[in-house]
Amino acid sequence: MKIITTTEELQKLRKEIDGSVGFVPTMGALHNGHLSLIRQARDENEHLIVSIFVNPTQFLEGEDLDAYPRKEEADIRICELAKVDILFMPSISSMYEKDELCIGAPAIRGYILEGQKRAGHFDGMLQIVMKLLNISSATRAYFGKKDAQQLSLISQMVKNYFMSVSIVPCEIIRDESGLALSSRNIYLNSDEKGRALSLSRSLKEATKMIMSGEKSVVNIKENMHFHLKDIDSVEYVCIVDREFNIRDEIEIGDSIILVAGKVGGVRLIDNIWI
Ligand code: PAF
């Protein structure tokens, strides 16, 4: 595995590669969720690039940029074992210059839910993903469904900017108790972890209702709020279609149920695709 730290080196190396290239962008602190993306990308492509970059422009003031978990050595080992060909770990100065041209999230879909709670986050996220997709010139890039709105906006960016990469949505990975894996789960103590399970439980209950014929978003959300009593503050419960238009009726095959909330100061999101 080659470890590359500058954009120039990666671009040079990329020109020498023939055949399909899978790309998995990450912010490190790799867990089994990342590993499932990496494995899928490994299986579906001749070459595999993974990036680790804690992108400052997608953290808002007061968010956990400095405290964001960093586990460089363990991450490198995981990538080696997963047979990554190129691990890209750039510095901030290699990725950004002063007074940059920016791209912005779309005015409606980019500013609801996560975009409303974390205004500006998606602008920074799209900016870095555009850079990373361009530098890696990937055939396919892999993103988890857990960050459903991120995934939807990246797909829209690729479409709107006529980019040639294929975006591959990957399944949410959960631990044995049902908690969706996230780098932030390490901040939860055991009581908080127990209470955090209400998120996935509320989604399961919603799915049960839908399977027994319920279509009304109002009724489903009411029932979910009932199951979310242990969450310290529920930020939103929402049902959208695959393009993040708000739904008032479930349509099987084109609905995503999303939930966000804080448990003991840790902000968690979860969702299920119906
Ligand atoms: O999902 C993430 O880890 C990040 O938002 C991403 C896509 C790597 C961009 O920094």
Domain boundaries 2-170, corresponding CATH code: 3.40.50.620
Which pLDDT value is given to residue 271? Answer: 98
Pocket of ligand 1, beta carbon within 6 A:
25-27, 55, 58, 125, 128-129, 147, 150
Alpha-carbon distances of 222 from 186, 218, 228, 260, rounded to whole Å: 30, 6, 10, 15
Beta-bridge partners for 256: 240, 273
Is it true that domain 183-273 has CATH number 3.30.1300.10?
yes
Angle of CA points 61, 95, 169, to nearest 5°: 80
Closest atom, ligand 1, to C-alpha of 55: 10
Tens-digit pLDDT string for the chain (274 aa): 999 999 999 999 999 999 999 999 999 999 999 999 999 999 999 999 999 999 999 999 999 899 899 999 999 999 999 999 999 999 999 999 999 999 999 999 999 999 999 999 999 999 999 999 999 999 999 999 999 999 999 999 999 999 999 999 999 999 999 999 999 999 999 999 999 999 999 999 999 999 999 999 999 999 999 999 999 999 999 999 999 999 999 999 999 999 999 999 999 999 999 9
Q: Give the integer Cα–Cα distance in Å for 23 and 17.
A: 13
Q: How do the domains of the chain map onto residue ranges?
A: 2-170, 183-273
For residue 147, the CA-to-ligand 1 centroid distance in Å is 9
Alpha-carbon distances of 76 from 28, 52, 113, rounded to whole Å: 9, 10, 34
Which residue owns the Cα nearest ligand 1 atom 8?
26
Q: Give the integer Cα–Cα distance in Å for 88 and 132.
A: 10
Pocket test for ligand 1, best of 128, 134, 154, 155 (most atoms within 8 A of CB): 128
Which residue owns the Cα nearest ligand 1 atom 1?
26
CA 93 to chain CA mean position, Å? 24
Q: Give the integer Cα–Cα distance in Å for 141 and 105.
A: 19
Q: Give the integer Cα–Cα distance in Å for 15 and 58.
A: 29
For residue 90, the CA-to-ligand 1 centroid distance in Å is 14
Identical topology for domains 2-170 and 183-273 = no
Tell me the helices (H) and strands (E) count for the chain, helix number first.
Answer: 9, 9
Q: Which two tokens stand for residue 271?
A: 């969702």
Which pLDDT value is given to residue 29? Answer: 95
**Quick check: is 34 catalytic?**
yes
Which residue owns the Cα nearest ligand 1 atom 5?
125
Q: Which residue has the tokens 């422009």?
A: 57
DSSP designation for 109: T
From the list 140, 268, 252, the residue with the least C-alpha distance to 196 is: 268
Q: Which two tokens stand for residue 210?
A: 């839908």
Pocket test for ligand 1, best of 150, 153, 172, 269 (most atoms within 8 A of CB): 150
